[in-house]
Amino acid sequence: MGNSNEVFCIKKESDNRFVPIFVDKEERENNKKGYIEYYGCNELVHNISNSKDISNLLLKLNKFSGIEIPQDINTVKYKEILDQVRKNNREIMALTEEQYYWLNFDAKIMDKLAIGLGGQSVFENDITLHHIYGIPYIPGQAIKGSMRNYIIREEKEFNGDEIKAVKNYFFRCIFGSGSDDENADQGKVIFLDAYPNDKFDLEKDVITTHYTNYYQGSGFPLDTEEPIPNNFLIVKDTCFSFNIGISRKVADENCTLSNGKSVRAFLLETILDVLQYNGLGAKTSVGYGFFDVDRKQIIADEKAKWEEEKRRLEAETEKKKFEEETKGMTELRIEMYKLKKMTGSTKHNEVMNLFKEYIDKVDGDEKIELAEFIKNYLVSENKWNKKNGDKLNKKIERICDILNCEI
């Protein structure tokens, strides 16, 4: 890297090749045609020499040498990013809520999480960091893949056979089938990326492979070898938000994979099983990737949410039906429509109040309709007679005058 008296330039050689080179500032000034100063790289070089100013953890890890964890990892800057991520997810769920029912819950890492350990990196081992925000997250495809493998392995009907699993209707309904399948299906479940809830912590860990030559197939496992420790980053003490969207067409179907429970209940219990007993990411065999979940509370909250959701949808359906059936109706006809649907002890008073409020406000066909409505109601209640009190008898006489009829 050049010193403070040098600038980064592109030099054109005699064979028309362009070569990057650091040049003394004075020489650059004296030979501007020979050296093309590259301002973007100069700025990058400055940032490299002051790498503490780089806020994106992914950029810091993959573009700058040395695995160092920033001290400001949970400052306002990252909290603002996490707030924005949560806002983005809420918008996604709001835009799709008519088509998808969303399972939402939080789960905290019990110890450590090594996600994306085998990815490409300038180091021996990688970590999954968001390419824009630079924050750790669990990709949706990782959650989906872990659930898929868990069901294939644990479901008695499949007994570890993927071919059997792909032939199952509900398995294909959840995960879809591969594009190689002649009858390829798209899964009806969406797995969003899981992001830290409000903060996250990164920590250095180490992998030390003993007997390297032996594992590479050359030699015996002898203590004469010198193992080389490899550092890598893990996520620790972090609570993640999980969001899974289920097509409303199948959310409440009875799933044969769960002894008749709904697809929604089956998916919730399965993801909780995966987080508690299977783990996510690498090194699960030595305790990484397991989550602490309040299973009973999450299931209870989800059940209450589903019941509330059903009530909301029923109310919306009724409202839509009401609006369609009363479209173009007058105010009086809408009120009569409501009373026809009404039941209970208060209906009589509501009908009498309708008569009192509208009988002198309307005329023509509407007045006749109102009189017919009141008459039919009284007949159904066995009150179309002269055995009632004075007030009701007067109303009946008025109705008879309007309809030109007798009791």
Domains in the chain: boundaries: 6-49, 76-293, 331-403
pLDDT of residue 63: 63
Other beta carbons less than 10 A from residue 179's beta carbon: 6
Cα–Cα distance, 383 to 376 (Å, whole number): 10
Distance spanning both ends of the chain, measured CA to CA: 108
Write out pLDDT tens, residues 247-270: 999 998 888 887 778 999 999 999
pLDDT at 35: 56
Cβ neighbourhood burial of 315 (10 Å; 0-12, 13-18, 19+): exposed
Q: Encoding tokens for residue 337?
A: 């429509």
Split at pLDDT 50, 70, 90, the class of 33 is low
Nearest to 407 by CA among 387, 385, 389: 385
Which residues have CB under 8 Å from 171's CB, separation 6+? 151, 158, 165, 257
pLDDT at 108: 96
Which residue from 344, 346, 347, 345 is spatially nearest to 336, judged by alpha carbons? Answer: 347
Q: What residues contact residue 195 under an 8 Å CB cut-off, 6+ apart?
A: 82, 85, 86, 89, 135, 137, 240, 241
Supply the DSSP symbol for 209.
-
Residue 405 pLDDT: 85
Q: Average pLDDT for residues 397-402, to the nearest whole number?
A: 90
Reading the block at residue 372, the tokens are 């017919």
* Paired strand residues for 105: 242
pLDDT at position 10 is 64
Per-residue pLDDT at 347 exceeds 60 = yes
DSSP state of 119: S
Residue 121 CB partners (closer than 8 Å, separation 6+):
61, 62, 127
Q: How confident is the model at residue 80 (pLDDT cuts 50, 70, 90)?
A: confident
